Amino acid sequence: MSTDDTFREGASKTYTRTFTREDVQQFAALSNDEGAHHLVPNDEEQVVLHGLLTATMPTKLGGDIDLLARTMEFEFPRPAYTGVEITCEATYESVEEYDDYTALDVSFVCESEDGDVVLRGRCEGVVK
């Protein structure tokens, strides 16, 4: 496999999304996680996103490069809410090229439009 700037150490990719109540309802039905905080709106008509729904943001970035994740770690310092724009930035911390695959160590952080960190973590995997 030839070296690709896409996988240069220190390079980063971003993805921005605003989740809706319908997104949360669909995820609740899929995951069977129907906690009231995910389904009953607050005074601002927002619900709390499922942590793993928020985690679809870094997994989307991994999917863009066909990353096969071997490990993933998540920390959820603050709740994320529907109707709030969230930006996820993934950074390639370590890149190791082999004959038939590239091994990556990726860190990521997701922030709300107000600058609150709602998710941070790491992932290790390979791209063939």
pLDDT tens for the 128 residues of the chain, in order: 334 557 999 999 999 999 999 999 999 999 999 999 999 999 999 999 999 999 999 999 999 999 999 999 999 999 999 999 999 999 999 999 999 999 999 999 999 999 999 999 999 999 99
Residue 103 lies in a domain: yes
- Residue 3: the pLDDT is 43
Residue 34 lies in a domain: no
- Structure token pair of residue 89: 């930035």
Residue 41 lies in a domain: no
Residue 23 lies in a domain: no
- Residue 5: the pLDDT is 57
Domain count along the chain: 1
> Which CATH number is 54's domain given?
3.10.129.10
Residue 65 lies in a domain: yes
Look up residue 9 and give its DSSP letter: T
Output the DSSP codes for 46-87: --BPPHHHHTHHHHHHHHHTT-EEEEEEEE-SS--BTTSEEE
Give the chain's radius of gyration (CA, Å): 16
Domain that includes residue 122, residue range:
5-17+49-127
Residue 64 lies in a domain: yes
3-state secondary structure of 20: coil
Residue 35 lies in a domain: no
CB 8 within 8 A of CB 92: yes
- Residue 6: the pLDDT is 72
Residue 94 lies in a domain: yes
